[in-house]
Amino acid sequence: MQIQPYLFFEGRAEEALGFYREALGAEVTAMMRFKESPEPQHNPPGSAEKVMHASFTVAGNTIMASDGRCSGAARFDGFALSLMPRDRATADRIFGALAEGGAEGGEVVMPLEKTFWSPAFGVVKDRFGVTWMVNLEE
């Protein structure tokens, strides 16, 4: 059995996928638009070009995504995705990319710094509101 996160971007999934390609080296492995649904009567209004389902990998880990109901109001509360890069340079690059995120920018919740459990740990909320923990293993 596997557990795979499923993120609902409420209208910004394709933009998020592009961002994660750049920031994390993500690879989109599957994508289906609402217009491809065999049951279009269940689609949100005006959603034909929106992402009904996508799957992407980051360092061999699968994350799924969708535009959900295309409400325009994504909420990513009560969880964080944890990244464990192999070296400090990668941790710095990933953390910076997630924090910047283009014109909207992300938000550094905790700077990437030494803690009692890690030589580099930090928390950042990306421009879509997804919280990421970057944790360099000792």
Q: Over the stretch 62-111, which tens digit does the pLDDT of each residue have? A: 999 999 999 999 999 999 999 999 999 999 999 999 999 767 889 999 99
Fold for 81-136, please state it. 3.30.720
Judged by DSSP in three states, 28 sits in strand
Q: Let me know the angle formed at the C-alpha of 14 by 16 and 104, rounded to the nearest 5 degrees.
A: 40
Q: What percent of the chain has pLDDT over 90?
A: 95
Q: Residue 138 pLDDT > 90, yes or no?
A: no
Mean pLDDT of 111-127: 97
Does the reported pTM lie above 0.85? yes
Which DSSP state fits 52?
A: E
* Strand duo 107-113 + 120-125: pairing: antiparallel
Nearest to 113 by CA among 98, 93, 91: 91
Domain boundaries, the chain: 6-66, 81-136
Judged by DSSP in three states, 35 sits in helix
Looking at residue 105, its pLDDT comes to: 87
Looking at residue 107, its pLDDT comes to: 95
Residue with token string 């592009």: 18
Q: Residue 5 pLDDT > 80, yes or no?
A: yes
Could you say which architecture CATH assigns to the domain 6-66? Roll (3.10)
